[in-house]
Structure 1
Amino acid sequence: MDKLYRSIAAKIIQRCHGSIKITKHGKIIEVYDVNRHIWSKGLAGLIIKEECKNADLKEWEFAHVRTYVIQQLLK
C-alpha cells in the first residue's frame, strides 16, 4: 500500500506541476490546479480526493496520501 500511496502523491504533484505552496511545518496553503486554471486555498483536499477516487481508494486512505504529498514537497 505504501507504494500505491507514493504513486498517487506523485500524480497529485504532477497534476499541479509542483505549484503547491506549503508551510515549513507541512500545512498546504494554496494549490494551483491546471485542469481548472485557478489558485485556491481549499482546492488541495478536492484534488487529493479526486485522484484517490480515480485510484479506487477508500475515504480513510486519503489522509495517508496527503502525508506522502507533504513529505515529497518538504524534501
Structure 2
Amino acid sequence: MAKIEKLYQNVAMQVIRRCHGSIQLKKRGNVIEVYDVKRHFWSKGLAGLIIKEECKLANLKDWEIARVRAFIIDELKSNK
C-alpha cells in the first residue's frame, strides 16, 4: 500500500512542478486553480486537465485521479 501512495505523491508533485508555481487553492480550500497564461485568468478546468494528463502518463486508472488530487491539496495546504 505504501508503494501506491508514494506513486500518488510523485504524480502530485509532478503536477505542481508542471504548473511552475501558478497553482493555488480557492479560499474554501478544495478547489484547485491553475493560471492560464494564454487567457490570463485562473482556471479550474485547466487544473483538472493537467491532473488527468499526468495520471495517464503515470498509467493510473481514472478512479485514481481523486487520490492524486487529494495529495495535491494536502501539499498546497502544507506550503501555505
Q: What SS does the corresponding residue of 1:42 show, helix, strand or coil? A: helix
Structure 1 residue ranges, 4+ long, deviating more than 3 angstroms after superposition = none
Aligned residue in 2 for 1:13: 16
Whether the aligned pair in 1 keeps the contact of 2:26 and 2:33 (CA below 8 Å) is no
* Structure 2 unmatched ranges of 5 or more: none
Tell me the C-alpha RMSD between the 2 structures.
Answer: 1.6
* TM-score normalised according to structure 1 size: 0.83
* TM-score normalised according to structure 2 size: 0.79
Q: 1:61: Cα distance to partner?
A: 0.4
Q: Distance in 2 between matches of 1:42 and 1:74?
A: 20
Q: Distance in 2 between matches of 1:29 and 1:57?
A: 20
Q: Distance in 2 between matches of 1:29 and 1:6?
A: 16
Q: 1:19: Cα distance to partner?
A: 1.1
**Residue deviations 1:21-54, cap 9 Å, x none?**
2134422252035xxx444231111100000000
The residue type equivalent to 2:11 in the other structure is I
The residue type equivalent to 2:16 in the other structure is I
Alignment of 1:1-75 (within 5 A): 1-32=4-35, 37-38=37-38, 39=41, 40-75=43-78
Identity across the alignment (%)? 58
- Alignment size in residue pairs: 72
